Amino acid sequence: MAKTNQFPKTTLSGVAAESDKLKTVLISAMVEVSGHVRFGDGTDIDTTITETDMVLNPNGDSVHKFIWAGSKRRGVDRRTIHQMRNRYWQDTNCYIPQLCGQCPTCWLYGFTGTTQDANSVIKKLGINAKSRIHYPTSVSIETVEQGQNRHNRNMVDEKKQTTAGEAGIHKEQVIVAGVHFPIYTSAMQVLDWELGAFAHALLENLNANRYTAASRAQGGVRWATDYKDAPILVVDESSDGIFPLNVPKISGWETDYQHKVINPFLEATSKESIKSSFELMGFEIGEGDDSPTVKHDSNCLFNISFNGNDNVIIKQNGEIKMTRYQGNAALGYLRRCQLAWQSYLNELQTGEFWKDVNSYVEAIK
């Protein structure tokens, strides 16, 4: 006899929602430093440093690269989501590090009792919640030798208009404009509004130059663009978490931006590249240029639909298995999701969210 899940279903959070309401979305992008940024706040004697590491290429040689830790991006995103949430949410006072464990953000980005006070709600709940938004660490394309500079800070006397020497931790390493980072994010089994919360953070943090620890010299990062000035961005959506197409991941040791790095992104919706990828896996490609089939032993496995140059849909037995958006189409997808997040907050009634989630909490304790 098949086992059944007896846990109560949630409707306002994806943590235990009906499976047909959930989806997994993979966001792959290339971003470019547009001013001075620093990722990490370590200190080496009198210098604030940016995080770097040695990575190995296929020959076993070390390549010195910049590191953008996933935890750094996640923290910035969560704070931005909190700011938007606080415009509508009055039920609890939730902020980093004192999380409430009862709001929409906590049940999307997770929480743990180990960092909370003994009398906190999370401690009393006696549970931890894992984040469903995953942030892998990013490795730069350009090397540290190419993209690092060091600046001094000067303290100016406002009355005398004279320089009073170097202030505090007076030197800092910065990453210069033009350095590229491939970034990847996985939104696992989320509702539309939950994906929208992440989309809001990504879009507005890029707009507002928040992705940097160098607040004195914020230049931020921007979308890297292709030859048509479209963002180098790919979004893959699947209702059941199965993606027949590989995401455009870049090896950490790669340094050839123009010829090796951007091609997987630019070819993400290419008819020839997609057909070739299935053929390399041992499948046969059937007739039709805009709607070819993928076969194995003469059995049709997938139907592919190419809609323009920036949208691909893959179906299995008539049902959509995966949808891919590229460039401006991917950007539009994220903007629509952002609006879903705003609409969700605007319509959420006091007490409704926790009542919905608490039934699940009580069942798993």
In one letter, which amino acid is 359? S
Helices (H), the chain: 70-86, 106-109, 121-125, 144-147, 192-207, 263-266, 271-280, 328-347, 352-364
Task: Point out which residues pair with 133 in neighbouring strands.
Answer: 187
Give me the sheet containing 138-143, strands edge to edge: 52-56, 62-68, 138-143
Kindly provide the residue ranges of all beta strands, DSSP E only, lying in 50-137, ordered along the sequence: 52-56, 62-68, 133-134
The confidence score (pLDDT) of residue 356 equals 94
Helices (H), 27-120: 70-86, 106-109
Between CA 96 and CA 99 the distance in angstroms is: 6
Three-class SS state of 242:
coil
Contact 215, 102 (CB under 8 A): no
Q: What is the pTM of this model?
A: 0.91
Between CA 61 and CA 54 the distance in angstroms is: 9
The confidence score (pLDDT) of residue 128 equals 86
Between CA 133 and CA 234 the distance in angstroms is: 17
Q: Which residue reads 């931020």 in tokens? A: 220
pLDDT in tens, 62-95: 999 999 999 999 999 999 999 999 999 988 889 9
pLDDT by residue, tens only, the chain of 365 residues: 344 457 899 999 999 999 999 999 999 999 999 988 988 767 777 778 889 999 999 999 999 999 999 999 999 999 999 999 999 998 888 998 888 889 999 999 999 876 666 667 777 777 889 999 999 999 999 999 999 998 776 666 667 766 655 554 468 889 999 999 999 999 999 999 999 999 999 999 999 989 987 655 566 899 999 999 999 999 999 999 999 999 999 999 999 999 899 999 999 999 999 999 999 999 999 877 778 999 999 899 999 999 887 899 999 999 999 999 999 999 999 999 999 999 999 999 989 999 999 988 888 87
| Count of other CB atoms within 10 angstroms of residue 138 | 24
Residue 156 has which token pair?
């100016």
Kindly provide the residue ranges of all beta strands, DSSP E only, lying in 158-242, ordered along the sequence: 162-175, 180-190, 221-223, 233-238
Contact 281, 271 (CB under 8 A): no
The confidence score (pLDDT) of residue 2 equals 42
The domain spans of the chain are 33-157+166-223+328-358
The confidence score (pLDDT) of residue 233 equals 98
Percentages helix, strand, coil for the chain (3-state, rounded to 5) are 30, 30, 40
Sequence-distant (6+) residues with CB within 8 A of 338 are 196, 199, 200, 203
The confidence score (pLDDT) of residue 212 equals 86
